[in-house]
């Protein structure tokens, strides 16, 4: 990920008022909370255009965070007690990441 990508993620996290770590459920809850606050259909007549802008920003922040979370695979079954090498453990979980997912040639 580039520095610009991380800045977008940080801005999205702050806009949705999330902590440094968040689950997918927390991201979705934050999006729903902000949607209720800024949705144009729920706004007073004098604030509709302002709420449209806020709603667009909230939706884009949500998309950025969900796109980031989709790039990672997490085990969905109980893992055996076998120990993996650190590089194999990393590759198993983040193998699709364009920067960290490349296994170095030996």
- Cα three-residue angle 90-95-98, rounded to 5 degrees: 115
Distant-in-sequence contacts of 49-56, Cβ < 8 A, 24+ apart = none
For 64-78, give the DSSP string: HHHHHHHT-----SP
Output the pTM of the full model: 0.65
> What is the rounded CA–CA span in Å between residue 19 and residue 50?
26
Show pLDDT as tens, one digit a residue, over the chain (106 residues).
688 988 999 999 999 999 888 888 999 999 999 998 888 777 777 777 888 888 899 999 999 999 888 877 666 665 665 666 777 776 777 766 655 555 555 4
User: How do the domains of the chain map onto residue ranges?
Assistant: 3-74+82-94
CA atoms within 13 Å, Cβ hemisphere of 59: 10
CATH class for the region spanning 3-74+82-94: mainly alpha
> What is the rounded CA–CA span in Å between residue 8 and residue 30?
17
């Amino acid at each position: 990920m580039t520095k610009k990508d991380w800045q977008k993620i940080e801005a999205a996290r702050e806009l949705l008022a999330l902590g440094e770590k968040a689950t997918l459920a927390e991201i979705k809850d934050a999006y729903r909370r902000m949607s209720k606050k800024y949705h144009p259909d729920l706004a007073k007549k004098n604030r509709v255009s302002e709420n449209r802008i806020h709603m667009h920003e909230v939706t884009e922040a949500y998309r950025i965070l969900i796109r980031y979370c989709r790039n990672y695979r997490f085990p969905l079954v109980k893992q055996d007690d076998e120990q993996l090498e650190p590089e194999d453990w990393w590759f198993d979980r983040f193998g699709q990441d364009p920067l960290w997912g490349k296994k170095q040639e030996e």
